[in-house]
């Protein structure tokens, strides 16, 4: 069965520090992977996605993620966090042309000044 | 384009009441989805639709019904509200040719 694990429920980083949010997936076929961000009271916004090709993908707001098939991981990174990055981040997995995404439980990012 | 819009933003229901959550998209997307989001649980798929007149169950469909009479609208119906349906509900849509889903702002529902 498809599943997504985000091991960290909460993460707190200082403004200007680097960030890595972990995501591990279980999927029978070649996965399509996504990171979404949800600001308080808002819907989900797509940060980036991986379908194929270069395993390091760039997204909006300075985020990037690296697909590692051997580790079944798709970790999200940002070299320098801004206070406006405080939000909840969701990793999701799906199939090409598939109708369903499976979401992780989310990681809440707090940024301290 | 307004994207995906949802109404209402907030609602409190009594146990046993019914209501319809509205979802409309103006992007001419074929696929539409309803999710519920509970704390610490991520998003769970309730129902989805691949086009007008076609709907299918997701992971947690019990207690809900949907219809898709037009491309734009995908309402979610709760017939007999229960406290377990207290949640935040998100509607999403995507075009047939892409895998990116676009989300509405959500409806926060409380059943007391």
pLDDT in tens, B27-52: 999 999 999 999 888 899 999 999 99
- A96 has a pLDDT exceeding 70: no
- Tokens 């895998």 belong to which residue? B99
Q: Is the pLDDT of residue A111 over 90?
A: yes
User: For B40, which of A42, A45, A105 is closest by C-beta distance?
Assistant: A105
Burial B83-107 (b: 16+ CB within 10 A, else e): eebbbbbbbbbbeeeebebbbbbbb
Find the CB nearest B42 among A34, A46, A103. Answer: A103
**Cα distance from A103 to chain B (closest Cα, Å)?**
6
What integer pLDDT is reported at residue A97 of this predicted model? 63
Q: Does B106 touch chain A (CB under 8 A)?
A: yes
- Buried residues in A65-103 as b, exposed as e (16+ CB within 10 A): bbbeeeeebbbbebeebeeebbbbbbbbbbbeeeeebbb
Query: Is B101 in the A-facing interface, judged by CB distances under 8 Å?
Result: yes
Q: A106 vs B42: CB contact, 8 Å cut-off?
A: yes
Whether chain A has a CB inside 8 Å of the CB on B90: the answer is: yes
Q: What's the confidence (pLDDT) of residue A87?
A: 96
For residue B74, the tally of other CB atoms under 10 A from its CB is: 29
Per-residue pLDDT, B41: 84
Per-residue pLDDT of chain B in tens (112 residues, 90 and over written 9): 679 999 999 999 999 999 999 999 999 999 999 999 998 888 999 999 999 999 999 999 999 999 999 999 999 999 999 999 999 999 999 998 787 889 999 999 999 9
Residue A53's pLDDT is 85
| Mean pLDDT of all residues in A87-113 | 88
| A14-28 pLDDT, tens digit each | 999 999 999 999 987
B28 phi, psi to nearest 5 deg: 60, 35
């Amino acid at each position: 069965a498809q599943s997504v694990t985000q091991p960290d429920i909460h993460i707190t980083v200082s403004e200007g520090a680097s960030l890595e949010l972990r995501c591990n997936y279980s999927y029978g076929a070649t996965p399509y992977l996504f990171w979404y961000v949800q600001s308080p009271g808002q819907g989900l916004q797509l940060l980036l996605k991986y379908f194929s090709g270069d395993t390091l993908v760039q997204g909006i707001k300075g985020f990037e993620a690296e697909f590692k098939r051997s580790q079944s991981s798709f970790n999200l990174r940002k070299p320098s966090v801004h206070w406006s990055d405080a939000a909840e981040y969701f990793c999701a997995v799906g199939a090409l042309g598939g109708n369903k995404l499976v979401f992780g439980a989310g990681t809440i990012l707090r940024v301290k000044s | 384009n307004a994207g995906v819009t949802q109404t209402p933003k907030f609602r409190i229901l009594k146990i046993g009441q019914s209501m319809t959550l509205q979802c409309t998209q103006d992007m001419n997307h074929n696929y539409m989805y309803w999710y519920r989001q509970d704390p610490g649980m991520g998003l769970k798929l309730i129902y989805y639709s691949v086009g007008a007149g076609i709907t299918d169950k997701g992971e947690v469909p019990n207690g809900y019904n949907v219809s898709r009479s037009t491309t734009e609208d995908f309402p979610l119906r709760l017939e007999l509200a229960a406290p377990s349906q207290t949640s935040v509900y998100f509607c999403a849509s995507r075009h047939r040719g892409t895998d990116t889903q676009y989300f509405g702002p959500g409806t926060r529902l409380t059943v007391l």
